[in-house]
Amino acid sequence: MTVSTKKKLKLRLGYPPSPAPIHFHQKYNLVHVFDHDGDPKKQTDSSSFTLTTSVWIASILFAIFTGAHYTRQTLIGQIDKWNATDPGLYRPQNPAANGLMIMHFIAGVVLMTAGPIQLIPSFRRKFLDGHRFIGRIYIAAALVASICATLFVFIYGTLRGDRYEDSGKVLFGALVYSCACQSYWHAAITKRIGEHKLWSWRLFSLVFGALLYRLYMTVYFAFVMYTSWEGNDSLYESLYFLFYVPNLVVVEVLWRMQQRNNEFMNAL
């Protein structure tokens, strides 16, 4: 007996039709990460709430660290202490280089603080003007941070002069700049909110990479210093790309899953 014959027989006998198959991304609600503003059921989605909360906490803690360590030392005139955690970052013979880093740090604190606010669904719904105002500040901070850091690397170079570090950080700055411009363009000019949301998530994933960069480097050097492992040059060099490239891949995968899910629901 074929499958279609079984279905017809069940319907004649009064059996309810079989439910539509549930796909993995529907079962675990991964596609709703980007979509908090529509169906109220999606707004309470646990995976979205968990992701948003985790990012919120991590970003705020990193902003506090940056503000306490770099900004405070800058304000009290002790920028030479930057070298305690970043040897060679402070350049006593190049005040312009230090100025670029100061602007980069200040913009970074703004990014890590303002970014999570933009992820709160209720804030976007109730305070749309506030969302737009903070968004402009966020975009401006992203442009300042990326331009200052990229100029620093181009003009003064990193301490080690490693081509992987230089190229990784220049590419990172270029991507932040591009995503910031695209996010603003689609929000203010084309009014394509879907594209604006996608580019904003790409931008935030890059900004969040600053935290991951610190985390990855800390873990790597902890293993080198406190275990018998002597490190691996290839792994170390790849870290200058791993702190942001996988983030973009995750955003792209989740976005495509959402688009596929929307097409599936519209076809029902």
| Angle at 248 (CA atoms; ends 169, 134), nearest 5 degrees | 85
Spell out the domain ranges in the chain.
48-79+87-261
34-62 tens-digit pLDDT: 554 544 444 444 555 666 677 777 777 77
Q: Give the mean pLDDT of 113-128.
A: 84
246-255 tens-digit pLDDT: 999 999 998 9
- Angstrom distance (rounded) from CA 93 to CA 41: 58
Tokens of 127: 């305070």
Is 63:109 a contact under the CB 8 Å cutoff? yes
**pTM greater than the 0.95 cutoff:** no
For residue 40, give Cα distances in angstroms to 35, 43, 121, 122, 182: 10, 5, 10, 11, 29
Per-residue burial over 91-123, b = 16 or more CB atoms within 10 Å of its CB, e = otherwise: beeeeebbebbbbbbbbbbbbbbbbbbbbebee
Closest to 216 (Cα-Cα) out of 233, 245, 251, 240: 240
H/E stretch holding 164 reads helix 163-184
* Structure confidence at residue 24 (pLDDT): 43
Closest to 112 (Cα-Cα) out of 75, 83, 79, 137: 137
